Structure 1
Amino acid sequence: MIRTGDIRYALRPGVTCLTVPGGAVLLNPPHNEKLTGLTPAQSQALKTLNQGPAAATCELAAESDSVTTLLDRLAGAGWLEVTVRDGDRDLYTLRPFATPPARPSTGDGPRTVLSKFTVIHRDPDGLVLEHPTSWCDLRVHDPRLLALAAGADPTELGLPEALSARIAADLRWGGFTADPAAENRDFTTRSWSAPDLWFHRRSTLGSRTVTWDNFGPTAWAKDEFPQRPARRAPYPGVPIALPAPDLATLRATDPALTAVLEDRRSCRSFDDARPITVAQLAELLYRSARTRSMESTPDGGELPSRPYPSGGSVHELELYPVVRTVDGLAPGMYHYDSFEHALRPVAPADAPAVQRLVRTTAATLANAAEPQLLLLISARAGRVMWSYESVAYANILKHVGVLMQTLYLTATAMNLGAVAQGFSDTAAFTAATGVDELEECNVGSMILGTRAGDR
C-alpha cells in the first residue's frame, strides 16, 4: 500500500502489477491494461503498490504530480482500492469490482439517506456496506462511519467538516445513499425488495463476479468437511411400504406429453367425497421423486438419480406428505423415503405445527378449503452448499421449480388436481420435524387431490 495525505491506495484484491521494459501491465483476468511512458517516480509507485500491505509505511512525495496523476487514473479505472483516513485512523475503504462512474455533482439536491437496497453485514474481512447495483463495496473500519451513514450529526462524532463532506460524497458516488422519496415514487425501485435484489445480484455472474473464483461448483468444502450423505437419516417410526406402479404399462397407456402439457392446469377445488388414494399417492411419488439409482464417485461422493434433474446430481430435496384425507392412509405428517419408496411418520395430525401447515393452504384453495394432501418440499442445503459457492440457494430454488413441474405433469397424467403454493410456513415445518433449519429447510409446497367435478 502507499499513502498520500489522508488517502491510502492499494491494488484491489486479485490485481497484479508486472513491470516490463518501458512500462507495466496490470492484470486481473480476464482484464488487463498496459501502462507505457511512465516516469521513474510512477514506476517506483507501481513497485510499491505491488508489495502489498507490507509497504503500508512507504510515503510518496506529496509534490510528485506525476504520481498523483497516475493514482487518479488507476483509481478512476477501478484498479485501486482507496482508504480514507482520519489522522492515523482508517475510516473506510472503497473496494471496486467494476469501473467507477463519474463522480456526481456536489451541488445541493434532495435529502439523501441510506438506500433501501444498501446492506450492512459482516464477512471475513470485517463490516461492509453493499449495494446490489454498485460498482464497489465500502469496507467499514471505524464505527463512526455507520453512525454518520445512519444520519448522525458529523459534529457529534468528532469528524472534521471536510472529511464528513468527503464521506457523504463517497457514499453517494457508490450508490449507497438515495433520495427516499424518489425510491418510493419510481415503480422499478419500489417493486424490488432489498433481499430480492441482493440475492439476484449475488447469485449471478456480472460486474462483481467475472471469473469462477469463489463462484459456482468450486467444491470449497472438500478439504475441510465431509460431504453430506445422499440419503437423509430416517425418522424413527415404522415405515409404511408403498406399492410401485407398473412403468411398462404406463409407457403404453399414459397420455402423450403434448396432451399432458396442454391439459395441465392449477386446481383449487377438490372433491373430499372422493379423496386421493394411498395407491395414487404412491404412484405420484414413485413417478416423480423416487431414487432410481446411486452412483459413487472416486472420492466417496454419492450422486443419486431421480426422475427430475438436479445440478451436480446432488438431489438435496425431500418430500413430506401432510395428509388430511387420503383413502387408506392415516392423517398426519410423513416423510417420503425415496430410496425405499416408503413413508415414515413424522408428526401426528393434531400436532399444532401440522395444523398450522394445513391452515396455510386457505389462501390458495377456493373458499378457504383444507387440502386432501399437502406436499411439502424441503432442502438439505448442505448437499448443495458443500460444492457450490454464491449460487447454492439459487440452485436449490431452481430444483424446486423442476420438481414442481414434474409433480404437475405427473398429476395431470394421472388425472389428479395439483396447485403449487408461492409460500409455506417454514417455522411450522421446523417445529413439526424438529430439524435444524440450517440443516434442512422448507422451500416449497404443493396441494394435490381429486379434482372437483371429475366424476
Structure 2
Amino acid sequence: MVVPAVIYSEQTRFTLCYGVTLTATAEGATLHAPPRTVELTELAEPQVRALSTLARGPRTVAEIAAEAGGADVAPLLDRLADGGWLAATVRDAGRDLYTIRPFERPVPRPEHSLPSWSATLSKFAVLHRDGGGFVLEHPRSWCSLRIHDPRLLALLDGLGSADSDLPIAVKTQFADDLHWGGFLVADGWAEENEPGARDWSAADLWLHRLAMRHGPGRAGADDPARAAAARRPAYLGETVALPAPADAVDAAAGAPLTIERLGDMLYRAARGQAAQTACGAPATGDSPIEVYPVVREVAGLAPGMYHYDSAGHRLRPVAPADSPSVRRMLASSADAYAAAVGAAAGEPQALIVFGARSGLLSGDAAPGGYAAVLRQTGALTQMLALAGAALGVGVCAQSFTEAAAFASATGNDELEECALGAIAVGMSGRR
C-alpha cells in the first residue's frame, strides 16, 4: 500500500480506529482490537510518541511528525494503514468530508478507476444515520465510511449522478475510495445477476456477516449506567416460587405436566450464569434473553403468562390467562405443536417464549449484537429440548411467535424488548 500521505492531501487527518487499545511494551507497543493483535517491536522513541499522538485523536501527518520531534513517521503510518489500524478523515478547504474506518486489513487498491458513467452503488450497500451523522456500510467490505459533508450524498451513485461544487479531485478521490471499499460496482445489472450474489438480499447478507464479525460494540454500550437501565424491571404481582429440581429424573412418558417438571426444565436450561455460559454469553449477570412461560394446563400452576426470574428460580405474573394476547400466542403454536406430537394434540400445555432486551444487544452483554442473540436463543432452545427429553416432556421448537401479542401482553415496546421465538411444551405421547 502507498503511504497514506502520498494518496491523500496534506489536510487529511489520521487516528487509531475506534476500539483499538494501545499498550506500551518494553519492545515498543501492542495494538489490540478483538480478535486482532499486533506487536510493534523495535520502535524508536519518536515512533512511540507518534503512536500516542494517533491514540489521542485525528492529526495531520505534519502534526504527528511535529509531536514526534520532527521524525519521519511515514513508514509507521504506512505500516498501520496496511494493517487496518488507521482511520483517515479526508478534508478540503478546512472541512471534514468523510472518514474511512477499517475494521480489518484493507484489500489492495484497484488498479483502475471505475468509469463514471457506469459505476453504481452496490445492491448490498446500506446508508443510515447514527448519533454522529451518515454512515455507509457494506457486509462484504473491510471498512465503513462516515460521511461528514452532505454534498457527498449526491455522489454515492457515481460521479455522473449529480452536479456538485466540490473540486473534481475530491469527487474523484471519493469515487476511488468507494470503489476500494466495495461500495461502488462497475455494473449494477451484473451484480444483480451474479451467481451467488443474486440469491442474497441485503438484509440476509448483513445478518450473516455481522454474526461472523468480531469487533467493538456501539459507543457507550459498555457503560454501566446504560446497562443498568437496560435490565428488565421486575413485574408486579405475587411471585410463584418454583420447586428445587429433584436429584433423580423421573422421565415417565405421558405423565401430567406439572409445576415440578416445568421448573426442572427452566432450572436445568435457563437458570442464571450456567445458561449464559452454555449459550455463549459472557458471565456478566446481564443475559439479553428473557424467558416467559405461557401456561395453559400445568398442574400446580395457575394458567397465564409469567416471567422467569432465573436468579431466584421463580415466576412473576405478567398477564392473565383470559388475555386475548395470551390466547393468541397459545393458538399460534397449535398447528406446529400438533404436527410434531400428533394431529389431535391441539394447543400445547405451555409455551416458553423468548424475548430480548434491546439495551443488552451489544457491548459486553452480547458481542455480535442481534445475530449473536439469535445464536444464543437457538442454544437455549436446544437446552430446553434436551432437558424436556430427559424429563419425559414433549417439546416443539418454533422460530416464530406472535410479536404483537407478546408486546401487548408484556406492555413492552418492541424496540425495547422484542420476541425472538418460542418452544411449545406438552407431555410426551399425549394425544
Query: 165, 169, 183: which is aligned to 1:176?
Result: 183
**Distance in 2 of aligned mates of 1:47 and 1:291:** 49
**Shift of the alpha carbon at 1:174?**
0.4
Amino acid at match of 2:382: Q
- In structure 1, how many angstroms separate the alpha carbons of the residues matched to 2:154 and 2:226? 39
Q: CA deviation at 1:72?
A: 6.9
User: Equivalent residue of 1:156, what SS?
Assistant: coil
Provide closer, same or farther for how the CA distance between residues 436 and 162 of structure 1 changes in structure 2, counting only shifts above 3 A: same
The one-letter amino acid of 1:247's match is A
- Distance (Å, rounded) in 2 between the aligned partners of 1:72 and 1:93: 17
CA contact (8 A) 2:292 2:305 kept: yes
- What pairs with 1:381-392 in structure 2 (closer than 5 Å)? 387-388=364-365, 390-391=367-368
Q: Is the 8 A contact 2:353 2:422 kept in 1?
A: yes
Q: 1:348–1:154: structure 2 CA closer, same or farther, 3 Å change rule?
A: same
Establish whether residue 371 from structure 1 lines up as the match of residue 347 from structure 2. Answer: yes
Aligned to 1:233: 234
Match of 1:188 in 2: 196
Question: 1:220·1:389 contact (CA, 8 Å) conserved in 2?
Answer: no
Structure 1 counterpart of 2:222:
220
Aligned to 1:28: 31
Q: CA deviation at 1:329?
A: 6.4
For residue 411 of structure 1, report the CA deviation from its aligned partner.
Answer: 2.7
Aligned residues of 2:125 and 2:137 also touching (Cα < 8 A): yes
Within the candidate set 91, 95, 112, 1:85 is matched to 91
Matches within 5 A, 1:272-311: 277=256, 280-290=257-267, 309=278, 311=281
Change in CA separation of 1:248 and 1:114 when aligned onto 2, cut-off 3 Å: same
Query: d(CA) in 1 for partners of 2:276 and 2:90?
Result: 56
Q: 1:128 aligns with which of 116, 135, 139?
A: 135
Any residues of structure 2 matched to 1:132-143 within 5 Å, and which? Answer: 132-143=139-150
SS of alignment partner, residue 157 of structure 1: coil
Question: What letter matches 2:109 in structure 1?
Answer: R
Compute the displacement of 1:141 (Å). 1.1
Which amino acid is 2:246 matched to? L
Q: CA deviation at 1:134?
A: 1.7
- Aligned counterpart, 1:247: 246
Is the alpha carbon distance of 1:379 and 1:96 closer, same or farther for their aligned partners in structure 2, counting shifts above 3 Å? closer
Worse overlay, 386-395 or 133-142:
386-395
Distance 1:187 1:371, change over 3 A: farther
Deviation at 1:400, TM superposition (A): 2.2
Gaps of 5+ in 1: 19-23, 61-65, 261-273, 295-302
Cα offset, 1:194, TM superposition? 3.5
Deviation sequence 1:230-269 (CA, Å, 0-9, x none)? 9861332x55666x4872442xx548xxxx9xxxxxxxxx
Q: Residues 246 and 57 (structure 1 numbering): CA distance in 2 closer, same or farther, change over 3 Å?
A: closer
Match of 1:116 in 2: 123
Q: For 1:45 and 1:342, locate their aligned partners in 2 and report how far apart those are by CA, in whole Å.
A: 57
Count of matched residue pairs: 401
Partner of 1:268: none
SS of residue paired to 1:103: coil
* Post-superposition offset of 1:145: 1.5
Counterpart pick for 1:449 among 421, 426, 430? 426
2:155 is equivalent to residue 148 of structure 1? yes
Instruction: Using structure 1 for the length normalisation, give the TM-score.
Output: 0.67
CA drift of 1:103 comes to: 2.2
Whether the 8 Å contact between 1:203 and 1:391 is mirrored in structure 2 is yes
Counterpart of 1:106 (choices 109, 113, 125) is 113
Structure 1 residues 48-67: Cα deviation after superposition (integer angstroms, max 9, x where no partner): 9798546688699xxxxx99
State how far apart, in whole Å, the 2-side matches of 1:140 and 1:282 are.
56
CA gap of 1:410–1:45, structure 2 versus 1, over 3 A, is: closer
Give SS of 2:223's match.
coil
Q: For 2:141, give the aligned amino acid.
A: S
Deviation at 1:227, TM superposition (A): 4.1
Paired residue secondary structure (2:12): strand
Counterpart CA distance in 2 for 1:370 and 1:110 is 61
Structure 2 CA distance for aligned equivalents of residues 376 and 333 of structure 1: 10
Distance 1:413 1:189, change over 3 A: same
Q: Percent identity?
A: 37
Structure 2: gaps (5+ residues): 66-71
Partners of 1:190 and 1:34 in 2: CA distance: 45
Q: CA contact under 8 A between 1:17 and 1:50: conserved in structure 2?
A: no
Q: 1:137 to 1:225 in 2, by over 3 A?
A: closer
2:14 corresponds in structure 1 to 10
Distance across 1 between alignment mates of 2:157 and 2:93: 23
Higher alpha-carbon Rg:
1
Alpha-carbon distance between aligned partners in 2 of 1:291 and 1:370, rounded to the nearest angstrom: 27
Aligned equivalents of 2:415, 2:408: Cα separation in 1: 13
Moved more, 117-126 or 51-60: 51-60
1:227/1:75 CA distance change after superposition, 3 Å: closer
Alignment TM-score, normalising by the size of structure 2: 0.70
Aligned to 2:170: 163
The root-mean-square deviation of aligned C-alpha atoms, in Å, is 5.1
Quote the Cα distance in structure 2 between the aligned partners of 1:92 and 1:389: 29
When residues 169 and 54 of structure 1 are mapped into structure 2, their CA distance, relative to the original with a 3 A threshold, is closer
8 A Cα contact 1:12 1:96, kept in partner? no
Separation (CA, whole Å) in 2 of partners of 1:308 and 1:49: 37
The one-letter amino acid of 2:14's match is: A
After the TM superposition, which residues 192-203 of structure 1 pair with which residues of structure 2 at under 5 Å, given as runs?
192-202=200-210
1:334–1:343: 8 Å Cα contact kept in structure 2?
Answer: yes
User: How far 1:332 sits from its partner (Å)?
Assistant: 4.1
Is contact 1:318-1:378 (8 Å) kept? yes
Distance in structure 1 (CA, Å) of the matches to 2:52 and 2:354: 56
